[in-house]
Amino acid sequence: MKIGKANYSGNQGSKRKIAKLNDGDNVYRILPPLGSMADKGRWSTYLRVEWGYKDSQNNNRPFQDVRVVNKKTKMVEVESAAHLVREFIAEKLKEVTEQYRAGKATQKQVEDMKEKSMQFNLDSKHYVNAVNSQGEIVLLKIGHKAKLTLDSAIKELEAQGIDPLSVDNGRFFNLRRSGRGLDTTVNISVVKENVKVDGMGVLQRDIVHVLDEAFQARLANEATDLGTLDKMYPVLSAEEVDQIVKGGAEAVDRIMGPRNKQDSVPVDEDGPEDSAPQSSQPAPSNNSQALSGASMLAKSEPAPQEQLASTGSDSSKPLLDKNKFLRDLGL
């Protein structure tokens, strides 16, 4: 019989946290591939998450986007009722805004529509494990443009023989965010420290971060296996999404069940980083390269299934009734 050690600090549960980029400086050290992603060398994963739907306890219950667009033909192979909802609201917001300018709608009507457009939102982000400047391990969400800029910064360091995500030679990046919505920009630089050198004065050098044994011992309880994010953002069928859109909280309870704060994944309480309308283009290629030191941090968890690989649709079902949906929202 297995014997455990008593926990005198109580049942504190998971210490996992989610972070997103704030305006201004955001200092993070990106961690190498962990858990089920370690052998694959994948240190990031990309998800498109639908927000706006709540259960009967008023908890946000986000889920992954089920819409499938053929990259070659640009044809929609699987439609999503949640996507149609966002289209309806965007169309209505434009209509009400034009009516307001013509003196035929009130400012409150415009504000109500803006609020709905913020509620029903598609959040498209890359997810990485990272350490902030306070030493906290977090699941960091970054936009696609910021991820491309980060990839370029990493390649520049690799060209110098530096692996910035490695176990023993990591680097901190400052992801400086400015602007709003579609005009958001993220500039990325390597964080440096001032060092006084005899005969040379004060020089700057990169801050090096090492994943020592004490730090690695924290990973099991504080880092997130990116292959388990479907527990935080479930993968539903198009039919289930249709039921949730039409049935509201009752359908959310029935299809998604009670919210369970898993020890292996955090609960996303904050919602999307930005309320600007999101594109519905296919996900970018997720081919982050393997980095040295990954095998040291590997766990025995299974590899994740490919997202939406078997999603289908029933063309015999009618599309979502636009007018009925808007009436149900009181619009």
Domain segments of the chain as ranges: 14-34+143-222, 53-119+231-261
Measured distance CA(122)–CA(44) in Å, rounded:
19
pLDDT for res 262:
62
Vertex 144: Cα angle to 143 and 148 (nearest 5): 120
Task: Please write the tens of the pLDDT for every residue from 110-141.
Answer: 999 999 999 999 999 999 999 999 999 999 99
pLDDT for res 315:
46
Helix (H), strand (E) at residue 242: helix 238-247
Q: Is 310 helix (H, G, I), strand (E, B) or coil?
A: coil
**Which of 122-126, 275-279, 287-291, 292-296 shows the lowest per-residue confidence on average (mean pLDDT)?**
292-296
Given a cut of 80, whether residue 270 has pLDDT beyond it is: no
DSSP-H helix ranges across 102-237: 107-119, 144-159, 213-222
Residue 273 confidence class, pLDDT cut points 50, 70, 90: low
Task: Please write the tens of the pLDDT for every residue from 25-64.
Answer: 999 999 999 999 999 999 999 999 999 999 999 999 999 9
pLDDT for res 191:
95
Q: What is the pTM of this model?
A: 0.82
